[in-house]
Structure 1
Amino acid sequence: MKTEGVYDVAIIGGGVCGSAIAYNLAKAGVKVALLEKGGICSGTTGTNPGFCVLTYREDPIVMEMALRQRLEWNALAEDLKIDLEYVETGGLIPISNHRELDVLDHVAGNCRQWGLKEVALVTPERAVQQERALDPSQIIGALYCPWEGKINPFNLTIGMANMARQLGAEIFIEDEVIAMEVNGHEVKALETSQRKIKADLFVCAAGAWTADVAAQAGVDLPVLYERGEAMVSIPLPPLIRGMVTDGQLFAVGENPPDRVIGACLGQTVTGNIVIAQATTDVDNYDCSSTLDGPREVAQRVLKLFPKLDDLEILRMWGGIIAYTPDRAPLFGFPENRKNLLAVVGFHSAIGIAPVLGKMVSDIFSTGSAAYDVSAYSPLRFRSAEIR
């Protein structure tokens, strides 16, 4: 027999966004349930390299969120009573040709317009001062931001989930939502194989699985996904100072190849070098790792960082990354489901998730939030309608 529970808010998804939402709601005294079909941080968040990016944020709203979060990492670590391993190392985007330069010059202009003044196009010689393993002969310049950093995505996500639990939230893992009960314009309850949960607000923060979850409430949300492949080395002495994102990823164009390759690197506090990524469109939530993807990434890495030629790889993995047809986030309520809030599609959400969590908490408690995210409403897609 299924157990039944009644909550103020039920959250579907135990990644960094779902955990941040649970933590902020529980901190505000809201009765919360979080449901995750696997384990906390077992999905996309667990495959994330932990880059807290600023330079390539989607728009001024998300940039403002990221700049705010940058100032709050230390306070959050104190609240969670955990070392988030946040380090502000600076970020570098190596530029290999003039096509990339044109695109990234535009990116830099957007950054300055949106409030990130500490960003600059620099010479190859200055780029090597930031990343001494970089071969300056392979680039014509780089985009540099001193404020970018890295964080441990596991410590962040599990830390927020654990603190949410301590504050009274109930967290159910390995408990997949299989049905939703709808009455009129509202979701009344969700069901798993083990329980039935009623709530005033249902938050879908299920990443690439958001469309499947929303479909159980009769809603068609245009959430797509792709696979990103990455790998990690054995622990090494310091070699990569900050976070590196390949400039060629910004010049892919409107007709990308079947597999998009870029050299993205960062070294953890334990010395492991995380290397990404090969990105491919896939079906059926295929997050398996291939041989060709990491091989092509390694070739690109060695072109820019030849000093890593004897790097020993510890493991490889793939992860599923959610996005929308216009590559902008989804945040809001679909038509005729006024209590089903979708939160998905934020690029590099690891660097803004706590702010998103606070925003959901404020919306539930006061009906408003610190940011105008109306542009992210599912209503911008005509397909986001009741079937």
Structure 2
Amino acid sequence: MLTRNSSDVIVIGAGVVGAACAYYAARSGLTVTVLDRGPVAGGTTGAGEGNLLVSDKEPGPELELALLSSQLWCELAELLPPATEYEPKGGLVVASGEAGMAALRDFAAGQEKAGVTAQEIPADRLHDLEPHLAPALAGGFHYPQDAQVQPALAAAHLLKAAGERVRLRLGEEVTGLLTGASGEVRGVRTASGEVHGPYVVNAAGTWGGELARLAGVELPVLPRRGFVLVTEPLPRMVRHKVYAADYVADVASGSAALQTSAVVEGTPAGPVLIGASRERVGFDRSLSVEVLRRLAAGATALFPALAGVRVMRTYAGFRPYLPDHLPAIGPDPRVPGLLHACGHEGAGIGLAPATGLVIARCLTGGEPPLDTTPFRPDRFAAAV
């Protein structure tokens, strides 16, 4: 029975990953309390572009998670309202020279063996997909499985779709975990009091490491800052998610230094979103003119017509980075009753449904939908 102070499972974090965990847990028959020290989607989710990508992932466990999530997002799109702006528009990765095209061919060949659909687009056909692209590009690859949602609305509607089995408590920061005599989870402590439950899910995003430390375990989640430029509303100038080939390398890099690569996409509402940058500077939100300059230059190199378009605003967000670029998903054997669902870096929106399904199966003793070994939360401790 769900009461204000008890439930079957407590999810900490009301971003899209936490919302997906709550949704699939509730669908499995569990009662859920979702706690967040801020509003729904107040962290990484609210600062995201809403990308649901397979195109930027090399064969391996993250791609398997992304392919499962792609299927689940298609199912959710039938359930959630149109306001989530689910758009299966596909992605287009472009190369400026023949060396870049050769690298894209090799990358796509490996992905296709793993179940990704990738279609090579020769230079003279690029403008069929994107009429406003710059001339003289060497070609690209089209990924029809890539899609996009409005991330904050997707999180909110997932929580609403979970129904009466989910209680949402916002503006309540978790200050400690309650444990039993054998160290097992019994609930959490907040400034408003205690919330009881035999399971706690750490879906705290960039603060996942901090929450893990409250439980007495180490999870090396670090913030990786990124900026997004938002243009004035436009007629549909950019039809797909379009990015330069070097974006894939930037995603896979562990460097703390500033990296930028051109990523441009339109939205159903009209504005064009421009990224992407990555740097590890802690939680510093200071505006970086150098980053904005690089983003604007990269975008206009791909779409020259954007040079005459006004940027209405810019914002920063923090991706929850783990050193091996894989999220932590599943039970933590060091603390019975504690599960993690964090560390997705910039892919959390895309990977949220599969993460939520895995967590729900763990909670109910069901068969995981894929091999969860690479996502073990204690893998970093084992490596020390």
Q: What's the TM-score, normalizing by structure 2?
A: 0.91
Equivalent in the alignment of 1:143: 141
Whichever residue aligns with residue 380 of structure 2, its letter is: F
Whichever residue aligns with residue 286 of structure 1, its letter is: D
Equivalent in the alignment of 1:357: 356
Equivalent in the alignment of 2:127: 128
Equivalent in the alignment of 2:157: 159
| Displacement after TM superposition at 1:167 (Å) | 2.5
Q: Per the alignment, do residues 383 and 206 of structure 1 end up closer, same or farther by CA in structure 2, a change over 3 Å counting?
A: farther
Equivalent in the alignment of 2:247: 249
Aligned length: 379
Equivalent in the alignment of 1:168: 165
| Matching residue within 226, 229, 247 for 1:228 | 226
Where in structure 2 are the equivalents of 1:156-305 lying within 5 Å?
156-164=154-162, 166-183=163-180, 184-251=182-249, 256=255, 258-283=257-282, 285-305=283-303
- Gap regions ≥5 residues in structure 1: none
| Displacement after TM superposition at 1:69 (Å) | 3.8
| Displacement after TM superposition at 1:23 (Å) | 1.3
Question: Structure 1 stretch 61-70 or stretch 18-27: which is displaced more?
Answer: 61-70
Secondary structure of the corresponding residue to residue 276 of structure 2: strand
Equivalent in the alignment of 1:57: 57
Q: Per the alignment, do residues 256 and 7 of structure 1 end up closer, same or farther by CA in structure 2, a change over 3 Å counting?
A: closer
Q: Per the alignment, do residues 305 and 367 of structure 1 end up closer, same or farther by CA in structure 2, a change over 3 Å counting?
A: same
Structure 2: distance between partners of 1:4 and 1:163: 19
Equivalent in the alignment of 1:344: 342
Equivalent in the alignment of 2:25: 25
CA contact (8 A) 1:186 1:336 kept: no
Structure 1: distance between partners of 2:174 and 2:201: 12
| Displacement after TM superposition at 1:344 (Å) | 1.6
Q: Per the alignment, do residues 101 and 182 of structure 1 end up closer, same or farther by CA in structure 2, a change over 3 Å counting?
A: farther
| Displacement after TM superposition at 1:120 (Å) | 2.8
Structure 2: distance between partners of 1:201 and 1:207: 18
Structure 1: distance between partners of 2:217 and 2:322: 15
Whichever residue aligns with residue 10 of structure 1, its letter is: I
CA contact (8 A) 2:58 2:110 kept: no
- Gap regions ≥5 residues in structure 2: none
Secondary structure of the corresponding residue to residue 378 of structure 1: coil
Equivalent in the alignment of 1:371: 370
Structure 2: distance between partners of 1:92 and 1:46: 24
Structure 2: distance between partners of 1:255 and 1:42: 26
Q: Per the alignment, do residues 149 and 193 of structure 1 end up closer, same or farther by CA in structure 2, a change over 3 Å counting?
A: same
Question: Structure 1 stretch 313-322 or stretch 287-296: which is displaced more?
Answer: 287-296
Whichever residue aligns with residue 227 of structure 1, its letter is: R
CA contact (8 A) 1:100 1:250 kept: no
Structure 1: distance between partners of 2:254 and 2:347: 23
What fraction of aligned residue pairs are identical, expressed as a percent? Answer: 28
Secondary structure of the corresponding residue to residue 228 of structure 1: strand
CA contact (8 A) 1:221 1:383 kept: no
